[in-house]
Structure 1
Amino acid sequence: MNSEDISKIKELLSVPQKIVIIPHKNPDGDAIGSTLGLWHYLKNNGQDATVISPNDAPKFLKWMPGSADILNFEAENSQAKKAITEATLIFTLDFNHLGRVGQMHSFLEEATATFIMIDHHQEPSDYALVTYSDVTMSSTCEMVYNFIAYLDDTSKITPEIANCLYTGIMTDTGSFKFSSTTSKTHKIVAELIDKGAENTRIHNLVYDTNSPSRLHLLGCALKNMVILEEFNTAYITLSQDELDTYKYQKGDTEGFVNYGLTLNGIRFAVIFIENKEEGIIKISFRSEGDFSVNEFARAYFHGGGHNNAAGGKSDLSLKETADYFVNLLPKHLKELTK
């Protein structure tokens, strides 16, 4: 953020505000970690703040301090609408287009509050008074730490804030292995540990609380994996019937797409997941090196994200979507095999 933006925020927060903090639909560790981290900070500074999530978060994030206070727009609709209507200040975190909040979209467009965006995805929309956007950042949680630092308030980071921000940085960096992890990221993580982040406990709570059904679903996903060596690509399909057979719960497929990249020589990994309730195929893309899955997702699958991690969707059937994807690969042969 520049000095002008910092001054605007300091002025806004110098008086009592009714604040709403919003993550994207189907929130992940970075979305929940950043919103709760900011929520704790604002509450501790005397602000009236509420986190409203478009829908529920995965079970493996429910331990996070403040999670029980999140309003679920789907389940607590009237209360959430009232909070948005009455808000004087709205923070949108870990997304940069209002279309990423599902059925909350129209309510945010009609809101009279001042908007502040904190996000690290590409091509931000222009809806906020202050837009803190930086695609080089590992995570929105790292940006929330910086946001607090810009306000000269890192001394106010409590163990609750530290645990939330550490979780988002850990999950969005693939446990610190993605190329977006910088020396500054590690310095911030060290600072968060010093301020009370329980790094070992957080890792266990996020990654080591699997149900038997989730591991069986993972086995099904790996069995379905198709390896296309000529394109250095691997993809996974999961049908609605398979999800139902293994008692799918929200968040159960988190990280499945990354298994393709563990194969020697694979640079491009994809997972296609059927969602009959929404009538779409949800897609996650991952890559290594300079092959941009953000550009690929934007060009062909109504999506986007980062250079090495992106999402998309398809209105075709599961088989038609996979066939369409495979037929696209020859266009990118040079990029995938150079």
Structure 2
Amino acid sequence: MHQGNQTIVTEFFLLGFTVESEQQQLIFMLFLCMYLVTMVGNVLIILAIISDTHLHSPMYFFLANLSFTDICFTTTTVPKMLADIRSQSPTISFAGCLTQMYFFMLLVDLDNFLLAAMAYDRYIAICHPLRYAALLNPRRCALLVVTPWVISNIVSILHLSLLSHLSFCDHRTIPHFFCDLQPILRLACSDTQINNLLILVIGGAVIFIPFTFILVSYVLIGNTVFGVPSVKGKWKTFSTCGSHLSAVSLFYGSIVGVYFLPTSTYSAERDKVAAIMYTVVTPMMNPFIYSLRNRDMKGALMRLLSKKNLICNK
């Protein structure tokens, strides 16, 4: 438990990035460009999937939802971060902090569940191709998207309801560029054992159950692929999973670096770097990962852009 004078908190100060003033413009332009690339890339993915009938399949349905989630996810943190870089006194109200945390937790959990749904899609496509249409019918696909929304909302509301009852010390500086649970809990004067237990149990379950599901799916996929007689056939079968594996590696690598290393190794700077990876870099890279390694997606994007060019030239 922290010691200090308890006070009614109305706002927090976001420390953000500790850089020299001459470097702030460079960092601002860098993150602005990354945000714009993220927005344009994911919007193009969604438009390509909607406009191209060849992509009206479960695999691309989940990808469109992942792109939409990534747009919302990066918008939750990056615009505020950009405004704070240009501000002399970056603050966020207590209500604004809770709101940002709600959407942040909701969307990071959604990303997690959608990656698991996409692993299930690859498992069915490779291990049970003849039953693909039956096992991944429109009703089940909708269920695999709606259920994560419900679970993620419940988890986020549960975290915030406990957080709203904490009392805070007079120290209100958050050593981060957005409101995250762990930095906020370190400012509390009241007992946070229940909050930390909830992060460990519920947060751990929300992360590790889908991750375990992904691992099991790929073990089963691997067994099927190794049964393919030719090397070319093995590579062709497994290559359809390359994009998903790349996205999973980026996402879980940074998540584990922030939330599941021992608290004795806590470093604010390390947390900020890892947070940049999954809040900025991963949503920006996903459109490239899924378009550059996917012939159907590349074709759909080219047709979409050619339509836009025709409209502009008329």
Tell whether the structures are fold-level matches, with TM greater than 0.5.
Answer: no
TM-score normalised per structure 1: 0.24
Tell me which protein shows more helix as a share of its residues: 2
> Is the strand fraction higher in 1 or 2?
1
Structure showing greater relative contact order (alpha-carbon pairs closer than 8 Å, 6 or more residues apart): 2
